[in-house]
A and B are shown apart, each in its own frame.
Chain A
Amino acid sequence: MTSMRRRKSLAISAGAAVAAVLLAACGGGATSSTGATSPTGGSTGGSTGGTTGNAVANAGVTGIANPSDHKGGTLTFASSSTPDSLDGGNEYYAWTLNFNRLYETPLLTYKSTTGGAGTQMVPGIATALGQVSPDGLTWTYHIKKGLKYEDGSAVTAGDVKYAVERTYDRGVLANGPSYFPQLLADPTYKGPYKDPNGDLTSITVPDPYTIQFHLVAPFPDFDYVVGAFGQTAPVPKAKDTGAKYELHPMSTGPYMFQSYQVNKQAVLVKNPNWTQNEDTEARQNVDKVILTLNVNADDIDNRLISGDLDVDSAGSGVQAAARAKVLGNPSLLRNSDNGFGNREWFIYLDSKVAPLTNVACRQAIEYAANKTDLQTAYGGPVAGGDIASTLLLPGMGGYSAFDLYNAKSQPTGDTTDAKKALTTCGQPNGFTTGLAYRSDRPKEVAGAQALQQALKAVGINVQLHGYPAGNYYGNFAGAPTFMHKNNIGIAFGGWAPDWPDGYGMMWALTSGNSIVPTGNANIGELNDPAVNKLFKDVANPKLTLDQRSAIYGQIDKLSMQQAVILPEVYAKVLIYRPPTLTNVYIDPAWGMYNYAVLGKSS
């Protein structure tokens, strides 16, 4: 399976900072299967080729499976790899951020509930969401009084400030997102390890229970910046051990570290100083939590099915072998969930590579692609996802199910319209272009050949160029000059937003300000004045959430009209849960089970 790593790309440029919208965004994990109405997937386009006779029960998608208040037991997690870190200030994987809520609490956090509300921010250690000043530049948070760490010492606003300060030292904590240095007014600060006497002046602490962030430009999504990651979880300066802090982060959540052997196992026990009243989004249902690392992926599935294990921590669903077992067995299906994985897989069409410089040529590719074959390449309707036709994921604010290129009405490809578009483009007999994909990702290898085969039917000749995933964005597809020089007009990619709204999903993909020389995520190189203006408009602090969502909907349509991205699937995951696991549901914020509320029945 693909990793759940959030894509990281930094794009700090003076131009971006001047424009109201700065930032680089990143991929992460946050869709939502909004509204309780059709969380299993507006499978309008998705199940086109489906022949499976058995349906997934989806008790953990439509609601909460096995709700229970039963206390006690041991909750066991296993991972086929290792975490990026267990220190909230150094995490970017969706699953480690999810797991982090068992022992660390940021200022804000995602609401622990099913449906669209699960993507909302609610108070963590703060008393309320941020209060923003009229100019949009100052965000104020108050911290709950009486909160304690696991050792009984008090949590203060200074600890939150210190927690953010330490993330400035990328040499020590390299993994987290870099929103704070880009948004706050003091980007030259080096962090407390290199500069022990320095001060991050753009964060002020007027009193021990108040913290203020001073931004260089309005940023309406700032609540997500403080809440979607672990970087604002308080860290007492006296206990900080830099990179080794992950061995024992000071807990503010329901569990605390008993032991952690790196690359092997972490054992968490109840935190006696945690109270349910102060932390409504987490639960303390079990006595012990064990996370075992580096376990074979197929072995994890087998142990889940046999009941020896409770959760595959990666949350990306079962492997192909277990998929066959689960889908073929009604009793296993009863304990399975097939929900959205907070990610979209798509294909970039580079608007700066001839002849794709002409929008009609890009549209020809959009029409001609065989979406069913692409869906099959990614694992089919169950393990792959629903056929996509938009950039926004279903359930995101502003999402509407428009279908400009007949992805859902003619999923095997619309050659008639493709040929018309080719004629408009002045290439009635087709053309030749290159295609970049990650050769060590079997799904993209299959997808690349499927697209090549489909485009051949309208005379578009595609040459495949496979590159290793490790530096795919650094040196190859994410380097515009490389794409231009090698005449590569098509590139496979995917995106999981850092937080579930239109900004998190689309800014890096379609804003002209996001184009960077390496690590580029706007591979289509869309620099459209109308889209850029909308991104600027949306930063206006006076707008309401609904108004912003409406703008995101417009950006989605405009970007799709420009045909710089050919959507493949809204990714779905097939997760198996042992029947003894309680309070289980796919959290729309993470695209996997919400680890903070799980429990065990006897």
Chain B
Amino acid sequence: MTVSVDPAAGHLEPEATATAPGAPIIQGRSLGQIAWRRLRRDKVAMAGGTFIAFLVVVSIIGPYFVQDPTVYHSSLIDPTFSRPIGPWGGISLAHPFGVEPITGRDMLARIVDGAPYSLLIGFLSTMLAVVIGVFFGIIAGYFGGWTDSVIARAMDVFLAFPLLVFAIALVGVIPNSAFGMSGNQLRVALLVFVIGFFAWPYMGRIIRGQVLSLREREFVDAARSIGARGPYILFRELLPNLVGPILVYATLLIPTNILFEAALDYLGVGLIPPTPSWGQMLSSAVSNGFYYIDPMFMIIPGLAIFITVMAFNLFGDGLRDAFDPRTR
């Protein structure tokens, strides 16, 4: 990451000074290195980051260590109430998170097996939204005029789009296999597309606003005065200054997208059962009224989503502070 003409990073922060008395040499550090050093000292952000890393590891290797999440344990269910026999949602040594109402499927296995889908859809759709949103946001903000008008109206159209209706229609016309994909692979791709493609205007608007103020700053004038042109200024001068907001809003968008996936699941546009997903579990807890008769069934996936969302938020906050301590 280059920092040469950015005045904000140009002067030395206290942390950038080698403070150890015995250190003989003062080393120059990049903005990234400085941010990393600050981030490492932020215990809360590091906790969030660690949890995200843990989640990624669980997503990858976890499914090999848990039971089959599709196996029914009808004997663990009281059919009259459709809820697990025993307190706390049927928590036992064999089923440390309890079992699902109605089916008796192991909750731990379903949470662990659902993690990769939730994370994957959250990450990929956010990436899609960030790429499209940042690209159009920078262009709209920097060039202004009719370019800005066209892109801003396009954003309005996307924001006003009846997304749920579109999503329901989509599942009717897209067959079981398309674009060389089938089954859940196709569903994940569809979800990423639908969620990401319609979430970019949020990112786009924020970036546009940031660029509107950044483009009047001295370092942009300076770059322009030494002959830099559009693309260079956009992607070498403005973009690095946008890393903070991009990261912060991306980390906010990931959990939003995970929740949106849950909503689509409920409408039958989500993953195909019996593939578990956190959103599906949460929505079935609500729609079946299990929040009353088996609260654990809502609490466990709810906690999974809550902790994940919080981890992303804390980590995002820490990142922002690390990149731009003045916003603290």
Contacts and interface: CB of A to CB of B under 8 A. Distances in A.
Interface stretch (A32-40, A46-54, A142-150, A209-217): A46-54
Given A324-B293, A439-B268, A440-B267, A380 B81 contact: yes
A242 B9 CA distance: 75
A534 to B, nearest CB: 37
A452 B168 CA distance: 24
B79 A320 contact: no
A379 B284 CA distance: 14
Contact of A49 (B70, B79, B172, B175): B79
A377 B81 CA distance: 11
Contacts of B292: 320-321, 324
A440 B264 CA distance: 11
B102 interface: yes
Contacts of A468: 168, 267-268
Interface residues of A, number: 45
A466 interface: yes
A476 B175 CA distance: 12
A51 B274 contact: no
Contacts of A439: 266-268
Nearest to A487: B176
A445 interface: yes
A458 B83 CA distance: 27
A564 interface: no
A320 B288 contact: yes
Contacts of A375: 79
Nearest to B183: A463
Contacts of A275: none
Q: Which of A376, A377, A434, A463 has the most CB of B within 10 A?
A: A376
B30 interface: no
A323 interface: yes
A131 to B, nearest CB: 49
Interface in A359-413: 370, 372-373, 375-377, 379-383, 412
A372 B103 CA distance: 11
A379 B82 contact: yes
Contacts of A412: 74
B19 interface: no
Contacts of B268: 438-440, 466-468
Interface string A538-578: 00000000000000000000000000000000000000000
A453 B82 CA distance: 18
A466 B187 CA distance: 12
Contacts of A467: 171-172, 268
A475 interface: yes
A380 B79 contact: yes
B63 to A, nearest CB: 18
Given A50-B80, A51-B79, A468-B267, A376 B168 contact: no
A381 B79 contact: yes
A465 to B, nearest CB: 7
Contact of B293 (A321, A446, A475): A321
Interface size class of B (residues with CB under 8 A): 20 to 34
B183 to A, nearest CB: 8
Contacts of A376: 74, 77, 79, 82, 102-103
Contact of A466 (B74, B272, B289): B272
A380 B293 contact: no
B72 interface: yes
Contacts of A319: 289
A450 B80 contact: no
Nearest to A434: B176
A453 B72 contact: yes
A370 B104 CA distance: 14
Contact of A320 (B85, B274, B289): B289
B156 interface: no
Contacts of B291: 321
B221 interface: no
A464 B274 CA distance: 8
Interface in B78-106: 78-83, 85, 102-103
A540 B80 CA distance: 45
Contacts of B267: 439-440, 468
A296 interface: no
B142 interface: no
A382 B103 CA distance: 17
A448 B272 CA distance: 11
A442 B284 contact: yes
Given A463-B176, A467-B172, A380 B82 contact: yes
Contacts of A486: 175-176
Interface in A413-453: 434, 438-440, 442, 445-446, 448-450, 452-453
B172 A475 contact: yes
B290 interface: yes
A446 B70 CA distance: 12
Interface string A451-486: 011000000000111111001000110000000001
Contact of A446 (B79, B83, B103): B103
A449 B272 CA distance: 10
B287 interface: yes
A324 B81 contact: yes
Nearest to A380: B79
B272 A464 contact: yes
Interface string A485-522: 01000000000000000000000000000000000000
B73 to A, nearest CB: 11
Interface string A305-348: 00000000000000111011001000000000000000000000
Interface string B238-275: 00000000000000000000000000001110001110
A465 B74 CA distance: 24
A468 B81 CA distance: 26
Nearest to B283: A442
Interface in A25-80: 49-52
Contact of B80 (A372, A382, A445, A471): A382
Contact of A452 (B81, B176, B274): B274
Contacts of B284: 442, 445
Most A Cβ at <10 Å: residue of B72, B79, B293: B79
Nearest to B72: A453
Nearest to B268: A439
A287 B142 CA distance: 73
Interface in B288-306: 288-293
Contacts of B80: 50-52, 327, 380-383
Nearest to A318: B289
B276 to A, nearest CB: 11
Contacts of A446: 102-103
Nearest to B81: A324
12 contacts: A320-B290, A321-B289, A324-B81, A372-B74, A372-B79, A373-B103, A376-B77, A382-B80, A440-B266, A446-B102, A463-B272, A466-B273
Given A320-B290, A449-B70, 18 more contacts: A52-B81, A319-B289, A321-B293, A327-B80, A327-B81, A377-B102, A380-B78, A383-B80, A439-B268, A440-B267, A440-B268, A446-B103, A463-B183, A464-B272, A464-B274, A467-B171, A468-B168, A486-B175
Interface of B: 70-72, 74, 77-83, 85, 102-103, 168, 171-172, 175-176, 183, 266-268, 272-274, 284, 287-293
Interface of A: 49-52, 298, 319-321, 323-324, 327, 370, 372-373, 375-377, 379-383, 412, 434, 438-440, 442, 445-446, 448-450, 452-453, 463-468, 471, 475-476, 486
5 pairs of A and B residues whose beta carbons are closest in the complex: A439-B268, A320-B289, A321-B292, A466-B268, A380-B79
